[in-house]
Each structure stands twice: as C-alpha cells, then as structure tokens.
Amino acid sequence: MFVALSKTQAYWLCQVFGWGAFVVYELVNYVGLGMFNLENALLISLAAPLGIGFTHAYRAVVMRWRLLEIPFLKMSLLALVAVFTLSLLLFLALLLVEWALQPGQFNWLVLTTPKYVFMSVLNWSRYVFVWVLIYHLYGLMERVNRSRLEQLSYENQLKNVELQNLKAQLNPHFLFNALNSVKALTHSDPRRAGDAVTLLSDLLRYSLNYEKQTVVPLSDEVAIVRDYLGLEKIRFNHRLEYTIEVEASANQWPIPPVLLVTLAENAIKHGIAQMINGGVLRIYAAVKNDSLTLVVSNTGQYHPNVDRQGIGLANIRRRLEMLYGAKASFVICNENNETVVATAQIPAFSA
C-alpha cells in the first residue's frame, strides 16, 4: 500500500536517493578502473552530504528570492551560473576534506593549475547540472500548473457571475409575463384572477428558491410548469390545451432551473397566443443514451429572423453552453406548417 508523501518528504527522498546513486556509481567506477581504495571511497562518500548541503542551500536561496518566478531566459542563465558555482564550491570543499584526511601529502599547488581546476569543476558540473535541471524543470511545471489553475479559477468565477446575471435577467422577464396574465383577468373575471394570484404566488416562491440552485430535478420544474400553464389556462381558456408526458426515469434528472418554464412560456407567447383559435402545447421528457431528451411542441410557426432576439431562447442556449459545453444541445424548428418543436438534449450534470 503506497503512502502519499508531502512535497518536503519527496524532496528529501530525491536528494538522498540521487546523491546516494552518485556514490554507488562512482564506487563501481573506481572498482572497474582498478582505482578503488579506502581513501577514494571515503572521499566520494563525503561528496554526497556536501552535494546535498550545497544544493539545499541553493534551493533555499531560490525560494527566498522567488527566482523560479522570473522570466524563463533569465532563469536559464541563473541555472547555468548556479551549476558552475555549485560545482566550484563542491570541488573546493572536497579539496579541504582531502587535505584534512592527508595533510602531509596534500599538494596545494594544484590550485595554481587552471586546467586542472577547470576540468575538475567541469567533471563535478555533470552531476550538479542534473540536479539543477530537474529542480528548475519541476519548478517550471509547478508555475505552469499554478498559472493554469488560476486561469481556470478565474474563468469559473466569470462563468458563475455570468450565470447569475443570466438568472437575474430571466427572472424579471418571466415574472413580467406572468403578471400580464393576471392583469388580463382582473377586469374581465375577478374570481379567476384570484385563482391566478394563488398560482402566481407559487411561481414567485419557486423563482426565489431557484436563484440559489445551479440545477433542479425535472420533477420540480414540471410541478411549477403545471402552475404556470394553469395560470395561462385561466387567461386563454379554451384557446389553450396542453399535455405533459414525463417518463419515470426522467423525474429526478437535474436540469437548469426555469428552463422548461421558459420553453413553455416561449411556446405560448410566440406561438399559441398569436393564433386566433389558440392551439396545443405538448411537453415530453425521457432519458435516452445517458441524456435527457426534453421536447416542447406547440401550435404555430417559428420565424428565426423575427424571434432571434427573444431573451428566453438566447438564455437557454447560453446557460446550456456554460453548464455542459458542447455536450448539450438545443434546437428549435418548424416540424410542419402548423407545429414548432423545441428539443433540448441535456447530459448528466457534474459540479
């Protein structure tokens, strides 16, 4: 069973493993070349803690001054300078260790030989370069991932703000039309107007509640659509007939709030209300292929060039796009000369 390591634990594990592998490699190399002795073994073994110490100090400097946040070109030049600086420090430190082990046999004149110093530093830079490269690449990937996460967070905040704006825009539009339905009855039929006010209160309650929800069960939406259609039935009387058919599997499917209400409202306002004899509104919902198919058809004709500015349809398209991306679809068309069909395909919602 694997145990998740913290970043600090992973860092130290990589330090110990990396420099430990370096020691093993060099010892095997000495044995292969016939140069193995206790002095060389001790010297190369001491190189590991020195390497860990110098590279860890470099990491502390990088973190303290946030050097991994600087532009890539400057960071690359810094890494190159760091490789040779750390290699030089490691070379000098090992010279001191060698002098401490054999003070009488150590020859300090080697420091006056530029070629020897340069080649020794170059030799150590092979190992230091690997460490610096890995550390900087890891830091660069972290910076890219952090930037990406910040961008996604920003985009998500923008989407949430836009969704709230769309809801705020849709809410008064929907209620304004419902109030017009009540207004039409106040003089002609006060009793029915009273019934309409009761239905409208349910619509208002739902409207206030849905502001807090991203999605609601289809059954909740259907219940409020029945109230809305009951309100419109009072207004239109025999000019409006409607049927609602929802398969059991679709009842709990989550959909954007007021989506079905908006479709029904649009069907009545732009379709049935425009017909002298009224018409029929049909609502059908079923789950097929892991997606909800929601169909609203009505008597009338759809005129894209005229109706394209309607706030309801634009709202539906935009909200579906923001919540589901390309996975959802919404199509409205004329099935024949007398029927308009609006179809929404809504996949499962994932927060």
Q: Which amino acid belongs to residue 298?
A: N
Distance CA 324, CA 320 (A): 6
pLDDT in tens, 28-82: 998 988 888 888 899 899 999 999 999 999 999 999 998 988 998 999 999 999 9
Q: What is the pLDDT of residue 192?
A: 75
- pLDDT higher than threshold 90 for residue 102: no
Distance CA 141, CA 108 (A): 44
- Do 255 and 221 meet the contact criterion of CB atoms below 8 Å apart? yes
Q: Strands, E, within the chain: which ranges? A: 216-217, 240-246, 254-255, 279-288, 291-299, 329-334, 339-347
- Do 202 and 178 meet the contact criterion of CB atoms below 8 Å apart? no
- pLDDT higher than threshold 90 for residue 122: yes
Q: What is the pLDDT of residue 203?
A: 72
Average pLDDT along the chain? 85
Query: What does the block give as tokens for 159?
Result: 């989407």
- pLDDT average, residue stretch 80-104: 90
Q: Where does the pLDDT of residue 93 fall: very low under 50, low under 70, confident under 90, or very high at 90 and above?
A: very high
To which CATH superfamily is domain 189-347 assigned?
Histidine kinase-like ATPase, C-terminal domain (3.30.565.10)
Helix and strand numbers (H, E) in the chain are 9, 7
Lowest mean pLDDT of 129-133, 147-151, 203-207, name the range.
203-207
Q: Strands, E, within 89-231: which ranges? A: 216-217
If one compares 99 and 163, the residue with the highest pLDDT of the two is: 99
- pLDDT higher than threshold 50 for residue 145: yes
Q: What is the pLDDT of residue 100?
A: 87
- pLDDT average, residue stretch 290-306: 89
- Domain span(s) for CATH 3.30.565.10 in the chain: 189-347
CA angle 190, 196, 201 (to 5 degrees): 130
Q: What is the pLDDT of residue 307?
A: 46
Q: What is the pLDDT of residue 308?
A: 47
Largest CA distance in the chain: 119
Distance CA 349, CA 351 (A): 7
Query: What does the block give as tokens for 265?
Result: 């409202």
**Percent with pLDDT over 70 in the chain:** 88
Q: What is the pLDDT of residue 199?
A: 77
Distance CA 179, CA 164 (A): 23
pLDDT in tens, 196-250: 778 777 777 776 677 678 899 999 999 989 988 988 887 788 999 999 999 999 9
Distances (CA, A) of 114 to 121, 213, 245: 10, 74, 91
Distance CA 113, CA 144 (A): 44
Q: Which amino acid belongs to residue 336?
A: N
Q: What is the pLDDT of residue 55?
A: 96
Return phi, psi of residue 188, to 5°: -80, -35
Question: Measuring CA to CA, which residue among 38, 43, 86, 42 is closest to residue 61?
Answer: 86
Q: What is the pLDDT of residue 133?
A: 93
Q: Are strands 254-255 and 279-288 parallel, antiparallel or unpaired?
A: unpaired
Distance CA 238, CA 279 (A): 9
> 281: Cβ–Cβ under 8 A, 6 or more apart, which residues?
229, 240, 241, 242, 243, 264, 267, 268, 271, 272, 296, 297, 298, 299
Q: What is the pLDDT of residue 325?
A: 86
- Reduced to 3 states (helix: H, G, I; strand: E, B; else coil), residue 148 is helix
- pLDDT higher than threshold 70 for residue 306: no
